[in-house]
Chain A
């Protein structure tokens, strides 16, 4: 893809000057990434071996003691379970809604581009805005959601959406799905437009109905893009902080406290920076598998 004429193994002065120029151009990027990512990353691993009190930043070496404490605590495993519940739940809804909406928006409907923009918008508004709107919709006294449900006779008392379980987890999962499913829509929509029409015609001639065509033609064609989307969204949902923190703050009684929230809470609530770093590194280790699979796949089909 990037093989130019000057890229053969033999190196002449011009090529060497080009290589030097190439290194010079990438140098600012490398320097910045080292300063803001590589150094902090190593530093986080190093900090995870200390016990540090946040306000004074004074610490003492505890070695792997933090890890023993974290992996031996119910807090970590509970939060891991919560994180998995949230990730699987919201991801499932995102994929189902996303694919369905993409199929609908791929049809010849009126004002199609307006419809597409409206569907994509939740993804672009700030999570803060999304959360404010939903907390207003969920409001126990004046919230429109409870009111509508009462009016249609579904419930007879305002629902406590965020204050008790399992409502809180369901609400967080649902709002997460609303906020992030447009990502699936865009990715799938882009792919749908490149499926050759002949495939559908052939399937129709073979007697396939609407569902037959979906399962025999569309779904196999979407396999590749869906794999990438699921990997990316798994990683992103797993590390999501803003949405959950702002909707429930991890409550009620830590029932929606995912791993990123525990890290924040330990570092800036309980002032235990060392343990917080340990939680963060442990969380990263869990994510690493997904990150490596994604890297492998993305590099195989690099631009």
Chain B
């Protein structure tokens, strides 16, 4: 390698990694704050590197706050939403991709349209609906509300994954005497499985991170998910304990880190297929 070329690569490395660290600094700071002793926190001037590491904030979070309750609620909520959406969405996507009937294209366009709708438009009628059904303050109301964005999203992603399964495979199964449903289960599902799994994980993230519906529909600790629950800890506390909140933030992000590790290879496909909600 020529010396000029090598120094360019060095420079590219330095600039890129410098920026990467700058971008991740807030996340690093979250972790640092969460393991810092309370006494060190309010030093002026603050030190960047903690002198001692402690897990007292995590212990306090789990023992003295309703954090675990919120965590469980979020788990149940995100898992239920994902299951409902993936089952319904997989059948729907298969229908949109491999069957022909009147209005199919219009339907596909409508799904994309609903995916772009602002939640604030739907939230008032949905809130009234939940009150009428007696579902206000329940996790069920949130699962129902979350399908408004999760189902169109999953359907759109799944549609593109299913369209990628070679049609010949299905035709071959049909020639061999399989029924459409048989071909779906034996041929399409296994082929589309990676796509289905990544769609499920993306859907889980969406539900896990949702805030607005949870804010409006649920007003009791019994059914409060993490997003509104942790925010509530900030609002209702007398003096804000930032290390506790940072510990909560770390804990809240752990499932995402795990999912993220799985998703690495699917990221670009997921985005190419219509984008991740933001």
Residues of A with Cβ closer than 8 Å to B?
1-2, 4-7, 18-19, 21-23, 25-26, 28-30, 32-33, 36-37, 39-41, 43-44, 47, 57, 101, 104-105, 107-110, 113, 115, 117-130, 132-134, 136-137, 139, 141-142, 144, 147, 151, 178, 180, 183, 186-187, 189-190, 232-233, 235-236, 238-239, 241-242, 246, 260, 263-264, 267-268, 273, 276-277, 280-281, 283-284, 287, 291, 294-295, 298-299, 302-303
- Which of A57, A117, A186, A273 contacts B268 (CB under 8 A)? A186
Whether B212 lies near A132 (C-beta < 8 A) is no
Q: Check: B42 CB closer than 8 A to any chain A CB.
A: yes
Is there contact, CB below 8 Å, between A303 and B147?
A: no
Q: In the complex, A30 Cα to B278 Cα: how many Å?
A: 24
B242 closest partner in A (C-beta):
A136
Interchain CB contact under 8 A, B121 and A41: yes
Partner of B17 from A115, A267, A283 at Cβ < 8 Å: A115
Interface residues of B in 248-262 (CB under 8 A from A): 248-249, 252-253, 256, 260
State whether A284 touches B117 (Cβ < 8 A): yes
B91 touches A25 (CB 8 A): yes
* B50 interfacial contact with A, CB 8 Å: no
User: B12's closest neighbor in chain A, by CB?
Assistant: A107
Cβ-defined partner of A123 (8 Å) among B123, B155, B276: B276
- Once the chains bind, are B27 and A33 in contact (CB under 8 Å)? no
Q: Which B residues contact A (CB, under 8 angstroms)?
A: 9, 12-13, 15-17, 19-21, 23-24, 26-27, 29-30, 33, 41-42, 44-46, 48, 88-89, 91-92, 94-101, 104, 107-114, 116-129, 131, 144-145, 147-148, 151-152, 155, 159-160, 163-164, 167, 171, 180-181, 205, 208-209, 211-212, 216, 226-227, 230-231, 234, 242, 245-246, 248-249, 252-253, 256, 260, 264, 267-268, 271-278
Q: Is the pair B99, A144 in contact by a Cβ cutoff of 8 Å?
A: no
| B209 close to A127 (CB less than 8 A) | yes
Question: Are A18 and B276 neighbours in the complex by a CB distance under 8 Å?
Answer: no
Complex Cα spacing A236 to B145, Å: 18
A109 CB contacts on chain B under 8 angstroms:
9, 12-13, 16-17
Residue in contact with A40 in the complex, picked from B100, B129, B160, B205, CB distance below 8 Å: B129
Is B122's CB under 8 angstroms from A44's CB? Answer: yes
Interface class of chain B by DSSP: helix
A37-B122, A295-B113 are contacts. A25–B94 as well, Cβ < 8 Å? yes
Determine whether the beta carbon of B27 is less than 8 Å from that of A36.
no
Contacts of A238 in B (CB 8 A): 118
B143–chain A nearest beta-carbon distance, Å: 10
User: What CA separation (Å) do A40 and B48 show in the bound complex?
Assistant: 50
B27 touches A121 (CB 8 A): yes
The minimal Cβ–Cβ distance linking B269 to chain A, given in whole angstroms, is 8
For the complex formed, measure the closest distance between the CB of A147 and the CB atoms of chain B, giving whole angstroms.
5
A78 CA to B21 CA, complexed, in Å: 38
Instruction: Name 27 interchain pairs, CB-CB below 8 A, sorted by A.
Output: A4-B98, A7-B100, A19-B100, A26-B95, A29-B91, A29-B111, A32-B151, A36-B145, A36-B148, A41-B121, A118-B20, A118-B24, A119-B24, A120-B267, A122-B23, A122-B26, A124-B256, A124-B260, A127-B211, A178-B26, A183-B276, A190-B268, A264-B123, A277-B125, A283-B118, A295-B109, A303-B163
